[in-house]
Structure 1
Amino acid sequence: MGSITVSSLGKAYKQYPTRWSRLLEWMDPRSRAHHKLHWVLQGLNFAVNAGEAVGIIGINGAGKSTLLKMIVGTTLPTTGSVQMNGRVAALLELGMGFHPDFTGRQNAIMAGQLLGMSVEEVNAHMPEIEAFAEIGEYIDQPVRVYSSGMQVRLAFSVATAVRPDILIVDEALSVGDTYFQHKSFDRIREFRKQGTTLLIVSHDKQAIQSICDRAILLSAGKLLMEGEPEAVMDYYNAMLADHQGQQVRQDVLENGKVQTISGTGEAVVSEVALLDEAGGSIETVDVGQPVTLRIQVKTNTSIPRLVLGYGIKDRLGQVIYGTNTELKGQVLTDVPAGANVTFHVAFPANLGPGHYSIQTALVSTDTHLVNNYEWRDLALVFTVINANKPNFAGVAWIDPEIRIEML
């Protein structure tokens, strides 16, 4: 079983004011520094336990790829240390280690040796590697003629030919086509069931929330937040909005979930309720039952343009449906300060049995990246049960009519 322990990890690069400063530093008999240190990462401490899946997120430049390179040993840390136990397979930069003039088969053999396999072991697994990569006759063509997606296919197939104790994956999988991404994540999930420890960097919210046990948010080279994937992704989503006058806070609810609320506060949601056809407030809904989501909004300043958005999230925090009044052509304009506006959103609860939550957004357009008055996750939680429908799988009730012909 594999584990990773990161202790006081930091990485800094030397910055010289002129091109001659480096030479002066080498020649200075007083050994005086002629550079400044630019810290890319600093003071990171976390552990990934055996069999655990941890996702690393953050905006570009936060230090995610540098962290992974230090963990796998391709970049040396300036401070701190990384301790790993178990066999490691890593898929970092696209085609890293592939020689463009060698064939895919030759590169697969070399990559397998770098992972600790013998030539005989790689050759024994080559039929499986070819089958999973699905690049056909290109396996015996030079890698320089490969597309980026083909390089990903071969690199991932080699790295996962033998189940590793630790699997580390950077954004490389995002280059591949949708079919191979699904295929790759199916293999990752299977490895997880068998006990593989996973460390993954991705901007894919669904991937992080569906695979990972925990998530780590990096910002400006430091660990900003660590916790359940849904809470960390909600906070990350709030960070992406315009920060002018915006506040972000997180509250722990009675059920232990962490609610993220962000925005300027110029307009706020004062109440959210789910109602049945008689207008009564409910927390449990039958599959397909007609319901109304009532959202009451208060404006604290005059709002030139007010848009309400909402999303229904499953138990993993993934949005299974969302829309807003901009898309529906029902934007409110010139809303005065102190106004109380009630939105009635009626829809059939065509959802599968399970636990769901509502997120709300008060914005000026169809996105919260322009004017984020308020974004509220876990605004309401409800449960769907199946009282009288035939059993079915999934999060959506899409009841078909099946016609059968026999000739």
Structure 2
Amino acid sequence: MGTINVTGLGKAYKQYPSRVSRLAEWLIPFSKPRHKLKWVLEGLTFLVRPGEAVGIIGVNGAGKSTLLKMITGTTQPTVGSVQLSGRVAALLELGMGFHPDFTGRQNAIMAGQLLGLSVNEVNELMPEIEAFAEIGDYIDQPVRLYSSGMQMRLAFSVATARRPDVLIVDEALSVGDAYFQHKSFERIREFRKGGTTLLIVSHDKAAIQSVCDRAILLKGGRLAMEGKPEEVMDYYNAILAERENQTVSQSVAEDGRVQTVSGSGEASIVDVSILNAREEALKVVEVGAPVTLRVRARINAPIERLVLGFMIKDRLGQPVFGTNTHHMQQALTDLRAGECVDFKFAFNANLGPGSYSVAVALTGSENHLSENYEWRDLALVFEMLNVSCDVFTGSVWLNPVVTIGKEAE
């Protein structure tokens, strides 16, 4: 079983005001430093326990890839330490270590040796590597002829040919086609069931929330938040839209979930509820029942344009359905301070049994990345109950009609 123990980790690079200063520092020993330290990561401490899956998220430049390079030993930290246990397999920069003039098979053998496998072991695993990569005859062609997706297929196949104790994956999987991404994440899930410890960097919210037990948010080279994937991703989405005079706050709801609220405040959410035909608020909804989602908003300052959006999520925080009044050609204009607006969305609740939540947003455009007046996660939590529909699995009730025909021989 593998573990990752990061303690007080930091990475800084020297910055010189000029080339002359750099040369002078080299040539004049014991002189005063002529550089300043630029810290790209500072004060990171966390533990990934055996069999745990942790996702690392953050905007570009937050230090995610630098962190993985220090964990795997390809870059040395300025301060702090990293302790790894177990056999480690890492998939960092796409094709890192591949020689463009060697064939895919030759590169696979060399990459396998870097992972601690012998040549004989790699040769024994080669049929499985070829089958999983699915690049056909290109396995015996120079890597310089490969597309980025083919390089990723081969690199991932080699790194995961034998289940490691620790698997570390950077954004490399994002360049692959949808089919291979599904195939790769299925292998990762199988490894998790077998006890592999996983550390993954991805901007894919669905991947983080479906695979990981915990998420870590990096901001400006520091650990900004650590917790359940849904909570961290909600906070991450909020700070993506962070602007002057905008606030981001989190609070613990009655059911123990962490609710994230952000926005500049020109408009605010007053109430969110699901109503039946008699306009009674529901906490439990029957599968397939006609319902209305009502959102009441207050206008706190003059607004030229107002868009309301909502997102229904399952218990893991995965989006099930979302839309907004911009896409429905129902955006409002020229609103005055003091007005209240009721938005009503009528639909059949064709959702599977289980717990769901609703996130709502008041914005000036089609998304919350600009003019975010208020974004509220977990604005409403409700249960779906199957009373009268046929038994089914999944998060969507399709109500299929089956036709069966027989022909005599």
Partner of 2:188: 188
CA distance in 2, matches of 1:103, 1:217: 38
CA distance in 2, matches of 1:48, 1:126: 31
Partner of 2:304: 304
Shifted more, 390-399 versus 180-189: the winner is: 390-399
Shifted more, 256-265 versus 325-334: the winner is: 325-334
Shift of 1:351: 0.4
Partner of 2:241: 241
Q: Which runs of 4+ in 1 moved over 3 A?
A: none
Partner of 2:61: 61
CA distance in 1, matches of 2:145, 2:311: 44
* Mapping of residues 345-360 of structure 1, within 5 Å: 345-360=345-360
Q: Which amino acid aligns with 2:289?
A: Q
1:153–1:180: 8 Å Cα contact kept in structure 2? yes
CA distance in 2, matches of 1:264, 1:32: 47
CA distance in 1, matches of 2:105, 2:31: 50
Partner of 2:38: 38
CA distance in 1, matches of 2:176, 2:326: 33
Shift of 1:294: 1.1
Shift of 1:29: 3.2
Partner of 1:206: 206
Q: Which amino acid aligns with 1:101?
A: D
> Partner of 1:367: helix, strand, or coil?
coil
* Mapping of residues 269-348 of structure 1, within 5 Å: 269-348=269-348
Shifted more, 395-404 versus 3-12: the winner is: 395-404
Partner of 1:11: 11
Shifted more, 26-35 versus 193-202: the winner is: 26-35
Deviations, residues 22-71 of structure 1 (Å, cap 9, x unaligned): 21101113332111111000000001000000000000000000000000
Partner of 1:2: 2
> Partner of 1:327: helix, strand, or coil?
coil
Partner of 1:20: 20
TM-score normalised by structure 1 residue count: 0.99
1:242–1:371: 8 Å Cα contact kept in structure 2? no
Q: Which amino acid aligns with 2:248?
A: V
Partner of 2:152: 152
Partner of 2:129: 129
Shift of 1:242: 4.3
Q: Which amino acid aligns with 2:11?
A: K
Shift of 1:282: 0.9
Partner of 2:401: 401
Does 1:385 find its partner at 2:385? yes
1:296–1:341: 8 Å Cα contact kept in structure 2? yes
CA distance in 1, matches of 2:146, 2:391: 46
Partner of 2:219: 219
Shift of 1:156: 0.2
Shift of 1:299: 1.0
TM-score normalised by structure 2 residue count: 0.98
CA distance in 1, matches of 2:139, 2:21: 48
Q: Percent identity at matched positions?
A: 68
> Partner of 2:108: helix, strand, or coil?
helix
Q: Which amino acid aligns with 2:219?
A: S
CA distance in 2, matches of 1:184, 1:209: 16
CA distance in 2, matches of 1:56, 1:373: 28
1:231–1:260: 8 Å Cα contact kept in structure 2? yes
Q: Which amino acid aligns with 1:323?
A: T
1:313–1:321: 8 Å Cα contact kept in structure 2? yes
What runs of 5+ residues in structure 2 fail to find an aligned partner?
Answer: none
> Partner of 1:195: helix, strand, or coil?
coil
Partner of 2:109: 109
What runs of 5+ residues in structure 1 fail to find an aligned partner?
Answer: none
CA distance in 2, matches of 1:401, 1:249: 47
> Partner of 1:20: helix, strand, or coil?
helix
Q: Which amino acid aligns with 1:383?
A: E
Shifted more, 340-349 versus 62-71: the winner is: 340-349
CA distance in 1, matches of 2:34, 2:304: 54
Shifted more, 74-83 versus 281-290: the winner is: 281-290
CA distance in 2, matches of 1:285, 1:250: 28
Aligned residues: 407
Q: CA RMSD in A?
A: 0.8
Shift of 1:281: 1.0
CA distance in 1, matches of 2:122, 2:218: 36
CA distance in 2, matches of 1:237, 1:265: 17
> Partner of 2:367: helix, strand, or coil?
coil
CA distance in 2, matches of 1:121, 1:29: 50
